[in-house]
Amino acid sequence: MTQPTSPPTPVHTGSSTETATSDPEPDDVWGVTRLTPPPAGATAEPSRDTTPGPVTPGTEDGDDDVWGRTHLAAPPVGEAAETPAAWPEPGPGWKPEAVPEHPTAFSPPEERGTLPAAEVPAQITTLVVPKPVRGLPVDQPEAGRFAAPAEPEVRVGRRPRPLFLVLGVALAVVAGFVAYGAWDSNRPVSVPTDIIVPSSAQASAPKVARGDLAVKGYLTALAAGDIDTALSYGPVGGGSRALLVPAALQASLAAAPITNINVTPADATASTIHASYQLGTQAVVSYYKVVKSDDGNWQLASSTTTVRLSAARSDRVPLIVNGERVGPVVELELVPGTYTMTTGLPYLAYQSSTKITVPDLAYAKPISDLPVEVTSAGKDALVAATQASLAACLDYQQLSPPNCPMNEHSLRPVIASTIKRELVVADPVSGAQWVADAADAAVASALIPVHYRFSASFDANTTTSGTDYNQSWTARADATKPVLSIEWGH
């Protein structure tokens, strides 16, 4: 067998390398390949077959095809190649691993049977959604142009409502609007009586070039009883306007007329005007504040003064001021004049101390007390009603009659028809002092000393000798009623 010519083989001697050019082919094949020869009998000698391929067990001994045994392609003829110097040494008697006879976790499902499959790491199963790349066409999906298109949204059609139901709801809504409109147009509207509609004089203030002329016109209008013209000379406060009416001003002038008006002339820039006048028998010297309006005319800073009404009042006792009924208000707007309070009732009246006089617009004293007293007619009516009630109680054939100034008791039963009561003091009622109750001014009361003697029979043969009863009782009555009913108590 003719051996192929091999390329020059480098020979390492110490640190230098020499190239063999025409040395004869060495007999030591393992030395040429620089591989450690296997133990005797382990494997066959490297073959010199130049065809690459796997080492086949059972190669004949003495095969000197080194390149074929190393699975490397032999270099072309005539070229030298370095022999591998440090290849890993196979272990003695090494052979490829045999196919396992028993299935493992990595075996196919048909071979694995009931054996569980190998677990896949969590990071592999995590779904990674690709982010949209800036610059891609707008018609591409967010996941990329290779992503599956989104499934179209399926809309479920609504079941159409019956026509009669829709018409019924529409008719009900229309009927509701019609009913509300009819109710709103016919409902009663309560308009407070103390609201005064401004007249034409109030709507257009007088044209006044100086402040003193405005004060002169204001006082002159009040003296003439022209409340509308007087109010046109300045704004009105925010209290009740119940007394800013001609009738109330006329009642004031009847009690205390405004006379002798004298206003000190002032220049066109004065904001305080001196004035003096006579209010009934009272001489008034006052100063009025004036302001210049936007149109260049002068007017009073205010044409009324606000007086607080903080007095405790009874709902059953009316408050009538200068003939005008005042409701449950807390503030009143007043002009200079006098104001008299009355109840309009025959048996009750406000005391004379409740009458107030407003000298000028600087007055601001609150009405903190409205004391009520029983009129002379009320006293006469109360005395008569109390005497009649007491007489009926004296004649009552019963021990301790109800709502009477009697409180008799007996340990033995008495014959009712034999009960007698006789006053020791003949008329304890006429001298009583009748006053309006402090808690409720509608109630008039008086303290009555009732002294009488009581006698009665227990049976046909036994009669009391007489027992005196002397005690003070309080007689009360609602003085706002035309017919008085007396109630007795302590």
Q: Are residues 363 and 294 in the same domain?
A: yes
Q: Is 260 domain-assigned?
A: yes
Q: Are residues 356 and 417 in the same domain?
A: no
More confident residue, 163 or 98: 163
Q: Are residues 337 and 403 in the same domain?
A: no
Residue 67 to residue 163: CA distance in whole angstroms: 97
Residue 218 has pLDDT above 90, yes or no: yes
Q: Are residues 363 and 386 in the same domain?
A: no
Helical ranges in 280-438 per DSSP H: 376-394
Q: Are 273 and 234 in contact (CB under 8 A)?
A: no
- Which of 320, 347, 370 is the last residue before a domain boundary? 370
Q: Is 153 domain-assigned?
A: no
pLDDT tens per residue, range 73-86? 555 655 554 554 44
DSSP 23: P
pLDDT on residue 385? 97
Q: Are residues 303 and 353 in the same domain?
A: yes
Q: Is 295 domain-assigned?
A: yes
Residue 325 to residue 312: CA distance in whole angstroms: 16
Q: Are residues 40 and 87 in the same domain?
A: yes
Residue 177 has pLDDT above 90, yes or no: no
Q: Is 127 domain-assigned?
A: no
- Rounded mean pLDDT of 32-58? 55
The tally of domains found in the chain comes to 3
Residue 390 has pLDDT above 90, yes or no: yes
Q: Are residues 365 and 384 in the same domain?
A: no
pLDDT on residue 197? 46
Residue 140 to residue 484: CA distance in whole angstroms: 101
Residue 486 has pLDDT above 50, yes or no: yes
Q: Are residues 325 and 228 in the same domain?
A: yes
Domain extent for 288: 195-370
DSSP 367: B
Could you identify the residue written with the tokens 């405790």? 312
More confident residue, 44 or 98: 98
Q: Are 333 and 244 in contact (CB under 8 A)?
A: yes
Average pLDDT, rounded, for the chain: 79
Among 34-48, 284-298, 458-472, the least confident range = 34-48
- Which of 91, 117, 144 is the last residue before a domain boundary? 91
Q: Is 151 domain-assigned?
A: no
Q: Are residues 420 and 357 in the same domain?
A: no
Q: Are residues 382 and 361 in the same domain?
A: no
pLDDT tens per residue, range 96-107? 666 566 777 777
Could you identify the residue written with the tokens 């009391």? 464
Confidence label for 92 from pLDDT (cuts 50, 70 and 90): low
Percent of the chain with pLDDT over 90: 49
Residue 105 to residue 112: CA distance in whole angstroms: 7
CA atoms within 13 A on the CB side of 26: 14
Q: Is 123 domain-assigned?
A: no
Q: Are residues 221 and 352 in the same domain?
A: yes
- Which of 307, 340, 370 is the last residue before a domain boundary? 370
Q: Are residues 295 and 440 in the same domain?
A: no
Q: Is 114 domain-assigned?
A: no
Residue 45 has pLDDT above 90, yes or no: no
pLDDT on residue 106? 75
Q: Is 234 domain-assigned?
A: yes
- Rounded mean pLDDT of 350-368? 96
